[in-house]
Amino acid sequence: MVVSPRNDQLKKTLALLAPGTQLRDGLDRILQGRTGALIVLGKDRTVEEIISGGFSIDTEFTGTRLRELAKMDGAIVCDREVRTIHHAGVQLMPDPAITTEESGTRHRTAERVAKQTGFPVISVSKSMGVITIYADGERYPLEGSQEIMGRANQAIQTLERYTVRLNEELNNLSALEIESDVTVRNVALALQRLELVRRISEEIGDNVVELGAEGRMIAMQLEELVLNQPTAELVFKDYLPSGHESHVTERAQASLCSLSPVELADPIAIARAVGLPGGGDLDYTLQPRGYRLLSGVKSIPHTVSERLVDRFEGLQPLMAANVDDLRSVEGIGEYRARSIRESLARMAETSLLDRFM
């Protein structure tokens, strides 16, 4: 399952609410006590203008203090980092003209305050025993650790399968590049697999944030799976017109990320979105510049790779270059030239064997 990425404000708020934090401890105590709460995470002039009554305490935030203050009527106002409780027992009076889809008084107020102030607001339902976060225009019901953990474990298994398929697709692309037989279809399918891996990895990363201290094992598994994982950037640099320019690859990456699941399943939609040559013709032949294969040669820095691509203007001339040809490039001596030559030959042999065995 691949979900839409959450906005940064919601991610930061979820990190503050992760198990093991003072805020989560306080919220759990409120749920156990079967009381409700309305908590604003941030204070500025706008917040000051919409609060009435209550009292200022400006005291250090702890879970137990939050629980005790929640027993009173009214909302609680903390700082954005949840280090200080500024106000308690206050009445919130947001602009009633702000639209809300909520029905309950507490949740309607929470959504309006979040929209008007721009700060996250947490609503704890006394009757339903549910914690809801309102942040940056989104409504997010907080789930229990068991549900999140189960989803994260499933996503890890999916990522393992996606990673295997990605490696197969990239190995196939490498073999086709060496044979000079690449089409738009091959590149689009590689980009599809790269994006699927990126999305599921991001989803697991969100789960890790929500799990907090309880997500350590999931975080370790994720780190192992994505370690040295390739990205779409080198594919863009190889095949897009002006792909060596960073703004071109950044725009292509943003376009790829914005594709819906249905669009991501369509190679033509991928090709058109990122700007591959051929106008969506999947059989259009492409020639790589060689950035991606050169990234596998550990003995050469990025600047030397750039010079090699500039000098030979394509992977095929680079593969055909002998040691003397390579030595003509600035920064490449006898030893490095032989190392590059041997590495490229070895990659060619390995890619072809992987494809046909």
pTM for this one?
A: 0.80
- H helix intervals, the chain: 8-16, 22-32, 45-50, 63-70, 105-117, 145-178, 184-211, 216-226, 233-239, 246-258, 261-264, 267-274, 291-294, 302-312, 315-320, 323-327, 334-356
Residues 158 and 281 in one domain: yes
- Tell whether 170 is in a known binding site: no
Residues 236 and 317 in one domain: no
- Tell whether 74 is in a known binding site: yes
Residues 325 and 230 in one domain: no
- Residue 2 falls inside a structural domain: no
Contact 82, 61 (CB under 8 A): yes
Query: CATH no. for residue 357?
Result: 1.10.150.20
- Tell whether 108 is in a known binding site: yes
- d(CA 184, CA 241) in angstroms, rounded, equals 13
Contact 218, 203 (CB under 8 A): no
- d(CA 169, CA 177) in angstroms, rounded, equals 12
Q: What is the pLDDT of residues 264-291, one digit of tens each?
A: 999 999 999 999 999 889 999 999 999 9
Query: CATH no. for residue 83?
Result: 3.40.1700.10
- Tell whether 36 is in a known binding site: no
Residues 94 and 225 in one domain: no
- Tell whether 227 is in a known binding site: no
Residues 331 and 277 in one domain: no
- d(CA 16, CA 197) in angstroms, rounded, equals 27
Q: What is the pLDDT of residues 194-245, one digit of tens each?
A: 999 999 999 999 999 989 888 999 999 999 998 888 889 999 999 999 877 8
Domain boundary among 142, 172, 206: 142
- Tell whether 13 is in a known binding site: no
Residues 163 and 116 in one domain: no
- As a whole number, the mean pLDDT across the chain is 90
Residues 135 and 110 in one domain: yes
- Residue 200 falls inside a structural domain: yes
**Tokens describing residue 175:** 């073999």
Domain boundary among 104, 123, 142: 142
- Tell whether 54 is in a known binding site: no
> Which residue reads 């979820």 in tokens?
14
Q: How many domains does the chain have?
A: 3
Residue 141 dihedral angles phi and psi, to the nearest 5°? -75, 125
Residues 121 and 245 in one domain: no
User: What contacts 97, CB < 8 A, 6 or more positions away?
Assistant: none
Residue 312 lies in domain: 289-357
pLDDT over threshold 60, residue 151: yes
A 10 A CB-CB count for 247 gives 8
Instruction: Give CA angle at 64 (60, 66), nearest 5°.
Output: 65
Closest CA to 127 of 34, 56, 211: 34
